[in-house]
Amino acid sequence: MKPTILIVDDNTENLMVLGELLSPHYRVRAATTGARALELAQLQPRPALILLDVMMPGMSGYEALDRLQEQDETRQIPVIFATAMSDVEDEHRGLSLGAVDYITKPLRPAIVMARVRTHLELAAARQRLQWRNASLEAEVDRRECENRVIQDVSMRALARVAETRDQETGNHILRTQDYVRLLATLVCGHPRFADELAPHCIDLIVKSAPLHDIGKVGIPDRVLLKPGKLNDEEWALMKTHARLGGEAIQRAVADMQEPVPFLRFASDIATHHHERWDGQGYPDGLAGDEIPLAARIMAVADVFDAMISRRVYKAPIDFGRVREVMAAQRGGQFDPDLLDAFLTHYDRFCDIARARPDEALA
């Protein structure tokens, strides 16, 4: 289909001349006023280019161009001013308003045709570039989405490896991931946490959460699956899972040629989610804000889920009793502000637990 050219001039003789010149090569629409030009510019197919006179009664070409620039549908249509005004300031004004070119009258056919062809080709090239950029952006988005899925699946797979060593944890990985997202979202506006909990950081922490117990793969079955209370030697061995998990992730990071941001959170979580706010935790005895925030969030989620779930060494505890026990550890085991948010919205965490139950969930 031939491109459509809209010619606008209050002089009908000029319109006839332009029409005869352009019609063998293009579809031509004509208007004698700026107002009519605006109407014709909206019709389909929209003009590929507009030749616009400046000096017209009622609405000048400058005003018409300004109106065209205001509309999303016509903003990208290239406009060439065709006018008897030849002053440099007039030309500068037209170009500054968004015109792509400026032709002075009397119009010379060769120049008109050359300018029209040039700007139609430029417009077509811009359109092709926009389509190509849109296609490339879509491909980048697709690849990023694919990479995120691969990362998520890989993290879940690794976490499931640890889970197979302790089969009674069931949906523990999925529940704790949901608890972490909820708690981080609840406190992200708190002055203590806002700098560390931007939306993308929350996403990375949630992505890392399934690896919190990856170090359990290094714990012998006689300890990990013991149905009764661990003795001092066994408990010391069990506690090494935090260090083992963190070191394994750190070695994986060292092997990578490029940084993987979420693995930093994964390392913090795996190593330090058993630290306590009062400094009595393990493996490093960190206290207060020395404990990475991601690990403090994970600690609340992990303890809650462990208490409400059946384990080889204990029966599940009901939600009401769990709330009492955890509330008593404000400033002891848990960051006070994190625990306050958790307790304020306790029912929402219970709802997550009920939505992903183990067979023996309380």
Instruction: Please list the residues that pair with 311 across neighbouring strands.
Output: 314
The pLDDT assigned to 361 comes to: 44
Helices 293-308 and 346-355 cross at an angle (nearest 10°) of: 60
Angle between helices 172-187 and 346-355 (to 10 degrees): 150
* Domains recognised in the chain with CATH numbers: 4-134 (3.40.50.2300), 165-355 (1.10.3210.10)
pLDDT value at residue 188 = 97
Q: Is 255 helix (H, G, I), strand (E, B) or coil?
A: helix
Short-list 31, 117, 132, CA closest to 78:
117
The answer to whether residues 242 and 186 touch, using CB atoms and an 8 Å cutoff, is no
In 10 A of CB 277, how many CB atoms? Answer: 24
Predicted local confidence at residue 258, as pLDDT? 67
Tens digit of each residue's pLDDT (9 = 90 or more) over 92-130: 777 777 888 888 888 888 988 998 898 889 888 888 888
Q: What pLDDT sits at residue 90?
A: 63
| pLDDT of res. 106 | 83
Cα gap 159→131, rounded to integer Å: 42
pLDDT for 136 equals: 83
Which residues does the chain have with pLDDT short of 50? Answer: 360-362
Whole-angstrom distance, CA of residue 119 vs CA of residue 284: 69
pLDDT of residue 140: 82
pTM: 0.61
The DSSP line for 68-133 is HHH-TTTTTS-EEEEES---HHHHHHHHHHT-SEEEESSP-HHHHHHHHHHHHHHHHHHHHHHHHH
Whole-angstrom CA distances from 288 to 143, 213, 278 are 40, 22, 7
